[in-house]
Amino acid sequence: MKYLLWLLKAAIFFTLFAFALNNQQDATVHFFFGTQWRAPLVLVVLTAFAAGLVTGVLGMVPRWWRHRNVALRVQQAPATTSPAHPSAAPAAPASNEYPPVHGL
């Protein structure tokens, strides 16, 4: 299995390397106000990919922080002791005790 993963990684690397070698011609990206950027096509594609990656990560940061804070609060909540009577059930937490962990 380990060798299969290395083989897959090598195949992906060589495919991307061949893509880069086949797309060395210049491309022009036109921005607003008449500005433009001339670069090899592979750099334009790489830059667009990196910009999308950064945008996605920055869009997820608030949700990651919220989940982390909820997990820390749950971890720091005092543990309930065993009930005095075996048939006594622990009280259910209030529905608004913690913010929702999923959804929008």
Taking the chain (104 residues) in runs of 10, the rounded mean pLDDT of each run is 89 87 84 88 87 94 89 78 57 58 60
Q: What pLDDT score was predicted for residue 88?
A: 57
3-state DSSP assignment of residue 83:
coil
Neighbour count for residue 27 (Cβ, 10 Å): 14
Answering whether pTM is above 0.75, one says no
Q: CA 55, 56, 57, 62 torsion: positive or negative?
A: positive
